[in-house]
Amino acid sequence: MVHGVAFGDAMGAPVEKLTAAEIRERYGRVTSLRTAWHRDGQDEDQRKGRVRGNGITTDDTAMTLSLMRIYGAERRHLDAWDMASGMVREIAWESRWVPELQRKAPLIERLFYPEKWIFQRLQLAGCDPRQGGVGNMVNCGATMYIAPVGAANACNPAAAYDEAINFASGHQQSYGLEAAGVLAAAVAQAFVPGTTLDEVVRTAHDVAHDGTRTAIAEIVAAAEELARKGADADEVTDEFHRVIAPFSPMGDDVVHGPDKAGAASAAYQPSRLLSIEELPLALGFCITARGDFRQAVVDGINSGRDTDSIGVMAGAILGAMHGSSVIDAEDAALIDSANRLNLAADAGHFTEAVLDILFEDTARAADIIAQRETLITKSERSAAE
């Protein structure tokens, strides 16, 4: 799962914010981590002092690793207060190597405004953690790093959804929060031994609400028809963008600037009719790729727009479902070296924390079953009397 997040992120990062047509014109088709960033050659101000390409990951992976460390420290299920303490600490008060900045820094120096909101709202404003997401720009920011919640609730999608909603309510609201719950549930289902992609997708649809549920249903229907027809990647992308348009305010122009201060920015406000587009699209590309890990990620990041987050979501789901078979040794080595990481070690430490949580859950469930059996026996005896 962790490799899937980092791989999807690093694959999508060089072409993020380009349209599908621009990717085709500039690259033909991106199929390798060894891809130059489309902004290479621009001056430092235009690049905002950042570098990308050739395996470098973004804030999607950095925040996923932050969430894994919070689980490692707490070794229990999380809630909004852990967003206010653990995630604030991770993004604002800890300095780590930030690959895009090529230096050690607090992660908040790299984050986009909706993710900086975590610090501004929960520490500077000091609000109730459960209300932390209220007022934030609705986007995919909570969903892009939420996969570890699915692992901490492996094989229990309903619990994963609930915990993701509880935790991420300190960051996001409305359909941005809803998508985080849905992705966590999908990842939890992906860990079920012998599960199928159909079951994972059905779980995502069934736990979802409002516009998110409708968007998933429509993308899934389109994906199944496209897969049946054997549509090529460009046809899939065009149809997905047509289907998702009524639910997503994003469109092809994903650059935020002063020209978006009016009606366009209002599109990112709470709504029961809208959906982030990254999650339904990721599910759709999993379907058209027939569950193939690499193809789903490659197709997703070549569709343009928020490419890294689409790659992260498809990679997390299929990584969890297929296991270590998705890990290509050369890709893993490049990701580690480009980002000064040891993802296998990070995943190992996280797994230890997850196993502690799962063992405790299992013991608690056994106690509840025993207590209920006693209660039922007493109730039956009382009724008989």
**Annotated binding site: which residue ranges?**
58-60, 306, 308-309
Burial of 307 (0-12, 13-18, 19+ CB in 10 A): buried
How many CB atoms are located within 10 Å of the residue 367 CB? 10
The token duo for 219 is 């993308």
- Residues flagged as binding site for Mg(2+): 58-60, 306, 308-309
**Residues pairing with 105 in the sheet:** 96
**Residues pairing with 104 in the sheet:** 97
How many CB atoms are located within 10 Å of the residue 72 CB? 17
Report which secondary-structure segment, H or E, holds 181: helix 174-190
DSSP class of residue 246 equals T
Burial of 206 (0-12, 13-18, 19+ CB in 10 A): middle
Residue 12's closest CA among 297, 277, 308, 254? 308
Place of tokens 């390798």: 32
DSSP class of residue 250 equals -
